[in-house]
Amino acid sequence: MQRAAALVRRGCCPRPPGPWGRSQSSAAAEASAVLKVRPERSRRERILTLESMNPQVKAVEYAVRGPIVLKAGEIELELQRGIKKPFTEVIRANIGDAHAMGQQPITFLRQVMALCTYPNLLDSPSFPEDAKKRARRILQACGGNSLGSYSASQGVNCIREDVAAYITRRDGGVPADPDNIYLTTGASDGISTILKILVSGGGKSRTGVMIPIPQYPLYSAVISELDAIQVNYYLDEDNCWALNVNELRRALWEAKEHCNPKVLCIINPGNPTGQVQNRKCIEDVIHFAWEEKLFLLADEVYQDNVYSPDCKFQSFKKVLYEMGPEYSSNVELASFHSTSKGYMGECGYRGGYMEVINLHPEIKGQLVKLLSVRLCPPVSGQAAMDIVVNPPVPGEESFEQFSREKESVLGNLAKKAKLTEDMFNQVPGIHCNPLQGAMYAFPRIFIPAKALEAAQAHKMAPDMFYCMKLLEETGICVVPGSGFGQKEGTHHFRMTILPPVEKLKTVLQKVKDFHIKFLEKYA
3-class DSSP assignment, residue 486: coil
Least CB distance from residue 130 to a copy of itself, whole Å?
15
Q: Of 149 and 426, which has the nearer Cβ to a copy of itself?
A: 149
**Min. distance of Cβ 32 from a copy of itself in angstroms?**
5
Binding a copy of itself by CB under 8 A: which of 204, 250, 258, 374? 374
Pick from 241, 321, 466, 493 the residue near a copy of itself by CB under 8 A.
321
Would you call 264 exposed, middle or buried from its count of C-beta atoms within 10 A (0-12, 13-18, 19+)? buried
Under 8 Å between Cβ of 282 and 248: no
- Residue nearer to a copy of itself on the CB measure, 351 or 462: 351
306: phi then psi, degrees, rounded to nearest 5? -120, 125
For 128-189, the DSSP string reads: -HHHHHHHHHHHHTSGGG-TTS---TT--HHHHHHHHHHHHHHTTT----GGGEEEESHHHH
Residue 369 beta carbon to a copy of itself: minimum distance, rounded to whole angstroms: 6
Select from 80-88, 325-333, 424-432, 510-518 the region that touches a copy of itself (CB under 8 A): 325-333
Should residue 114 be labelled a site residue for a copy of itself when binding is judged by CB under 8 A? yes
User: What's the gap between Cα 272 and its chain centre?
Assistant: 11
**Binders in 330-369 for a copy of itself, by CB under 8 A:** 330, 332, 344-350, 358-360, 362-363, 366, 369
Binding mask 127-156 toward a copy of itself (x if CB under 8 A, else -) reads: ---------------xxx-xxxxxx-x---
Rank residues 93 and 427 by Cβ distance to a copy of itself and give the closer one: 93
Are 313 and 281 in contact, with CB atoms under 8 Å apart? no
The reply to whether omega before 309 is within 30° of 0 (cis) is no
Q: Count the site residues for a copy of itself by CB under 8 A.
A: 139
| Residues contacting residue 234 through CB under 8 Å, at least 6 positions apart | 212, 213, 247, 251, 487
Pick 23 or 428: Cβ nearer a copy of itself: 23
- Is the CB of residue 360 less than 8 Å from the CB of residue 209? no
State how far the Cα of 224 lies from the Cα of 204, in Å rounded to an integer.
16
Which residues between 38 and 97 bind a copy of itself (CB under 8 A)? 38-39, 42-44, 46-50, 52-55, 57-58, 60-62, 64-66, 95, 97
Cβ nearer to a copy of itself, comparing 88 with 126: 126
Sign of CA dihedral 188, 189, 194, 200: positive
Helix-helix angle 107-117:129-140, to 10 degrees: 50
Stretch binding a copy of itself (CB under 8 A), from 217-225, 235-243, 297-305, 488-496: 217-225
Rounded Cα distance, 266 and 273, in Å: 12
Q: Find the farthest-apart pair of alpha carbons in the chain and give their distance in angstroms, rounded.
A: 81
Residue 157 engages a copy of itself in binding (rule: CB under 8 A) = no
Query: At closest approach, how far in Å is the CB of 314 from a copy of itself?
Result: 9
Closest to a copy of itself by CB, 341 or 444: 341
For 25, other C-beta atoms within 10 Å of its C-beta total 8
Establish if 250 lies at the interface with a copy of itself (CB under 8 A).
Answer: no
Instruction: Decide whether 206 or 487 has the Cβ nearer to a copy of itself.
Output: 206
- Among the listed ranges 12-20, 232-240, 446-454, 480-488, the one in contact with a copy of itself (CB under 8 A) is 12-20
Q: Which of residues 266-305 bind a copy of itself (CB under 8 A)?
A: 278-280, 283, 287, 291-295
